[in-house]
Amino acid sequence: PQATVRLWNLGNEHADQPWAHAVSDDAKSFASSLTLPYCGANSGFEVAQWMETPSAVSSMAMIPLRGILSVPAFGLLVLGSPDPTRYSADMGTDFLVRIGEIASAALARLLPDPV
């Protein structure tokens, strides 16, 4: 029922967009540490506050956005549900991985060109 995305390390031309709002170093590190989407309970994750109704998020999926696994994430796609069992650690993540790959490919064009 709820979804949001945040991107970082973007050019200044995107600074006023809601998906480019400030992200803490902890959230960036967490996103980069994920090799697969996180699926489970909302244990007070900072990223739940990015949602329209954070108090309604009981379980969530967090999908890192990156070009390839060996580079740090440049964003995080977050899905939230009021159902505490909707996203769980034992669920399959193949579909979520594919969503992350497609979203990463589409959104990478917003990153500044490397110097």
pLDDT at 2: 97
pLDDT at 114: 62
Locate 1 and state its tokens: 């029922």
Q: Which residue type is seen at 88?
A: S
Residue with tokens 């600074």: 15
Helices (H), 1-49: 25-33
Per-residue pLDDT of the chain (115 residues; tens, 9 = 90+): 999 999 999 988 898 999 999 999 999 999 999 999 999 999 999 999 999 999 999 999 999 999 888 899 999 999 999 999 999 999 999 999 999 999 999 999 998 876 4
Do the Cβ atoms of 41 and 61 come closer than 8 Å?
no
User: Which pTM does this prediction carry?
Assistant: 0.92
Residue 54 has φ and ψ, to the nearest 5°, of: -60, -35
Residue with tokens 């967090």: 62
Count Cβ atoms below 10 Å from residue 100 Cβ, excluding itself. Answer: 24
Do the Cβ atoms of 34 and 64 come closer than 8 Å?
yes
Instruction: Give the separation between CA 47 and CA 13, rounded to whole angstroms.
Output: 23
Do the Cβ atoms of 34 and 49 come closer than 8 Å?
no
